[in-house]
Homo-oligomer: A and B are copies of this chain.
């Protein structure tokens, strides 16, 4: 028989897929809040996202008991509870690593600012870029990253360098003490287990989309409802 008494040391971590859905619930809740609603049922919350009410309740139950039988969920309370649960009830200072086109785009991305993700520093290894000022931030040499990270000013890094240098720069980020990397380079990174990486590979997303479009059209073609749109050159 296993020693179950000592289990609680494990941090109960909701599955990745649940965390993703909770982000969506949060957006939906904010939309309902803006419309003036004060309470909401699991069915109402799930409907616009095409998620079943049982799924909604089970996901929320991962983080605690927020609902009131017969009534539903109080929107203000639920938003607060979910933000706390996701850890976004505080500021998250970000660093942009690599100031190419993508890095500049992220500097201006409002989706971060409205969610307490704040870009507070820019690093680049190109001496020609160091010292330039964008959005009120001066580009610093990559060597400065360690100081910023160890002083606790920065926890997450947006890795925006070309694929060729991504692993090398990621190694430097790890060495500097960064524990979370949002990776935009289309290569899988190798990092120690205590470092967290989420890769956003836009060409993977586009390939997914192309496949859906292609298959969808073949499906329609098979039923003879659409002229050929793909494959004709």
A-to-B contact residues, CB < 8 Å: 9-11, 13-14, 16, 19-20, 23-24, 27, 48-49, 86-88, 90, 92, 94, 100-102, 104-112, 114-115, 117, 152, 155-156, 162-163, 179-182, 186-188, 194, 196, 198, 200-220, 222-223, 229-233
* Known contacts A182-B209, A230-B155; A101/B108 CB under 8 A: yes
CB contacts (< 8 Å) of A207 on chain B: these are: 19, 23, 86, 88, 115
Most buried by B among A109, A110, A210, A222: A210
Partner of A196, one of B117, B186, B209: B209
Partner of A200, one of B100, B202, B222: B202
Partner of A206, one of B10, B182, B186, B208: B182
Partner of A202, one of B109, B194, B196, B215: B109
CB contacts (< 8 Å) of A216 on chain B: these are: 179, 194, 196
User: A23-B203, A86-B210, A101-B109 provided; 12 other pairs, C-beta below 8 A?
Assistant: A11-B215, A11-B222, A14-B211, A19-B208, A23-B207, A49-B188, A88-B207, A106-B202, A155-B229, A180-B210, A182-B206, A200-B202
